[in-house]
Every structure is written in structure tokens, then in C-alpha cells.
Structure 1
């Protein structure tokens, strides 16, 4: 499933480059009242704003997704990814409505945050080494610090153009779902 999602995201980005802005106009997540359509809750997660945006999300999916999928199984991993996409989109729609923001949102980051929190919950002793600066952190601490940064950036409005609350929505959705599941290895 991880490789299928990687392929789908890259292929759809290729289509996005070929088709152009009309694809973003139709399939990005627009705020309610500013072009919103229900399918955008899912379709927006397969669009990306730039090659770097795509690369960052796909690197995260590759790094965390394979282990999470191996622990949960294909179906549960797909459910985790989809639910995180939905909770990310719903969080973004709520914040957009509160702030009267009319900008569309694209990217798989919300789903990726759900996968990251699942990784931290499944593998709490794993260490993640940040690239800049190269600091080793236990996976749960990495996710908590990343979430705190997203909350800070979202509340202060720093790093405009990033859907910080969508990231947090995906994280919360993934966390709540993981609290209801046990990994496949502990069910045997």
C-alpha cells in the first residue's frame, strides 16, 4: 500500500504538471463557500504545490509508511491513511471557516502526520535523527515536538502558506484511530 500511495502521488503530480491549474481549481480543498466540493476532502491529498512539496511528503511516507504498514497490515494502513486525510481536511475546513480564509489547500501532509503518529506509537524506542541540526530523538518525542511546532506556527501565523491545522488534524485522527487498534503482532 505504501508503494501504491507513493506511485499514485507521483503520477497525479505528473498529471497536475500536464493539465495545469484547472486540476488544482477542481480538486484542491477549497473552503466551504469558496468552491468546496465533497470529493476535495480526498482528492486534495494527492495534489502538491511543487516538486519539493511532493518530495518531502513522499520521503516521509517512504520512511514511516513501510514500517507502519508492516505492523498494521495493508487494510489497516490504508484505513489509517484515509482517516488521517479526512481528519486533516475537516480540521482545515473548520479553521478556514473560523478565519474566513479563502485559499485552497493541497498535499498529503495531513495523512503523513497520521502515519507519523502511528509510527511513534508502534515503535516508541526507535530514534529519528533530524537532518538540520542532526539531533537524535525518540520517535514519540519527535512527533510531539513537530506537533508543538505546527501548533505554534498555526497560532502565530508564521510560515504562511502551510496548512498547519490540517497537519494537526491528520495527527489527531491517526492518534485516535491507533488508540483503538493493537498491532498485528500483538493480536497473534
Structure 2
């Protein structure tokens, strides 16, 4: 029987996040902090994706990841001997943060945590396969996934420019871009499939 990799990632993330809440020193050792990475602690590129600031941060990311990860996992598991999905997720954590690192590598006051970049990569990979599938904002407001994608990108770009909150909108943008590009690279036919689906919404 195949192991559900999505659930395993969620369990590990929950356990590590809880440990970080209980041990501030551990959380500080795992968090994305550019000066430490610059000094050679490269594992922080990955470890920051397994800790979260609070319960709502963890719940939102893992709730989203659970619903879309299970679907995208089926596509990515056919690569690298079944490890494709795990490597996709881990690499998305890293790639989503590369621009933030370049911009803040000498900024001792900058820190980031959470799996949002990787979760966004999974979500946007899903949108390639189902652009008209309804997503439910806050669990109740239905919106076609392609419409959500456009609004999400526009919002993230504007929010990144304003930089008026503590959310790393850059990671969201680059995570989304990575999810789309890697999926297309692995299976170029998905572009044709996407356009066919986009031009033929099933609910018309």
C-alpha cells in the first residue's frame, strides 16, 4: 500500500512546529535567517518550512496543503522512484525563498518561517489541471481556481510592494511560479490540457 506522503509531511510539520513553540531556541535555530545562512547554515532554507508562527498559520497552510497536495502527489509520485512529490515540496520551500535571501542576505533583522511558498507551489500546480474547479475562500465563498489565481497574484504583487505586514508575499509569488514551471517542464502536455480546460469550462 502506498504511503500518503501529503499526510506524512503534515504530521512532521505539525510535530516540528509544536516543538518550536515549546522550545524558543529550537525555533530560532530552524527559522530562515539570512546572516546564519550566509555563514553556512544552509539547512535553514528547508527547516523554516516546518515551523509556523501560531496555530492559525499552521492550520491555514496545512489545511490548504492537505486538499491540494493529495491530488498533485499523484502526478509527482511517478518521478524519481516515487519520491518526486516530496522533492517537489522540499525544493519549493527553497526556491520560494531565494529572492528573499538575495534581497536580505545582510539584514540581521529579517527572518521568515512557514510552508507558504511550498503550499502555493502545490496549489498553482493544481490549478494547471483544474482551472475551473471551485475553491472555497474561508471555506464558504466559491471562486473558480483560475480567477483565484489571477486575484492572488495581483494581490501578492501589490502587498509585496507595500510591505505593510509581516507576510512574505515574495515567497508566495515565487512558490506559485515554481509550481507552474516545474510541472510544465516535467509534463509539457499539461499546457495543452490547461488551455483546453480553460476554454471549455465544464459548468457552462
Gaps of 5+ in 2: 194-204
1:23 aligns with 2:26: yes
Deviation at 1:133, TM superposition (A): 7.3
Q: Which residue number corresponds to residue 129 of structure 1?
A: 136
Give the ranges of 4+ consecutive aligned residues of structure 1 lying more than 3 Å apart after TM superposition. Answer: none
Deviation at 1:132, TM superposition (A): 7.8
1:45 aligns with 2:52: no
Residue 38 of structure 1: SS of its match in structure 2? coil
Q: Which residue number corresponds to residue 92 of structure 2?
A: 84
Larger radius of gyration: 2
Mapped partners of 2:30, 2:54: distance in 1: 16
Q: Which residue number corresponds to residue 95 of structure 1?
A: 103
| Structure possessing the higher relative contact order (Cα contacts under 8 Å, 6 or more residues apart) | 1
Instruction: Map Cα deviations across residues 3-24 of structure 1 (whole Å, 9 max, x no partner).
Output: 01100111101211222x2112
Q: Which residue number corresponds to residue 169 of structure 1?
A: 174
Aligned length: 180
Change (3 A) 1:13 1:119: same
Q: Is contact 2:96–2:175 with CA below 8 Å preserved after alignment? A: yes
Mapped partners of 1:44, 1:119: distance in 2: 24
Q: Which residue number corresponds to residue 114 of structure 1?
A: 121
Mapped partners of 1:95, 1:170: distance in 2: 16
Deviation at 1:97, TM superposition (A): 4.4
Q: Is contact 2:21–2:27 with CA below 8 Å preserved after alignment? A: no
Mapped partners of 2:150, 2:108: distance in 1: 27
Q: Pick from 50, 55, 59: which aligns with 1:55?
A: 59
Gaps of 5+ in 1: none
Q: Which residue number corresponds to residue 75 of structure 1?
A: 83
Instruction: Map Cα deviations across residues 128-172 of structure 1 (whole Å, 9 max, x no partner).
Output: 1223872x32212212211221111111123x1111111112112
Q: Which moved more, 1:171-180 or 1:48-57?
A: 171-180
Q: Pick from 148, 158, 177: which aligns with 1:152?
A: 158
Residue 104 of structure 1: SS of its match in structure 2? coil
Mapped partners of 1:166, 1:101: distance in 2: 19
Q: Name the TM-score, length of structure 1 as normaliser.
A: 0.86
